[in-house]
Amino acid sequence: GGGASTKHEYLSRRLQAHETEIFHVRPVTPSRPQYIGSDIHFSCGLEVDSFNLMDNNTVEINLKRDLERLGKYIYVFVPVINTASVRVKVGGKQGTWSIHSQVPQKGGPNSCGSILRIAIDIKADGSEDDGMVSILF
């Protein structure tokens, strides 16, 4: 008899001796922004104090400010494909960001949103906006 065909897709990466890499894989909710992770902490979330959807198109993320973290990145899913109107503020100033990837729509060839790679610097200097990220999408 004919068995069901199963398609497998694999993640792979060539690593150097004694090198490690953690793959953090989780589904997204296509209609809501989500914090995906960072290169700050391997837990991909322990660095977040709060993640708040302020209205239908604004997210505020407060990162922990206990330690200085310079030249790091966070990754955030936003439910938009056309990112021309996306605005990002980091520490109260215009932020630097790029599209890391488009997220495929479940069961279809189209995308349901974008993962943004946002540059962050946490100075841990006690300033009011330190560690604050705001995304308008």
Tell me if 39 is assigned to some domain. Answer: yes
Residue with the larger pLDDT of the pair 96 and 6: 96
Given this model, what pLDDT does residue 8 score?
55
Instruction: Choose among 84, 110, 111: nearest CA to 97.
Output: 84
Strand segments, DSSP code E, in 1-137 are 34-38, 48-55, 58-63, 69-78, 87-90, 93-94, 97-104, 111-122, 132-136
Q: What is the pLDDT of residues 48-78, one digit of tens each?
A: 999 999 988 999 999 999 999 999 999 999 9
Q: Is the pLDDT of residue 5 over 60?
A: no
| Span 82-96, pLDDT tens digits | 999 999 999 999 999
Residue 71 counted as domain residue: yes
Q: Does residue 3 lie in a domain region?
A: no
Kindly tell me if the per-residue pLDDT of 4 is higher than 50.
no
The torsion angles phi and psi of 41, rounded to 5 degrees, stand at: -145, 140
- 88 lies in a domain? yes
Within-domain flag for 26: no
Residue 4 lies in a domain: no
Longest dimension (CA), the chain: 69
How many domains, the chain? 1
Asked if the model's pLDDT at residue 2 lies above 70, the reply is: no
Please give the residue range of the domain that contains residue 62.
34-136
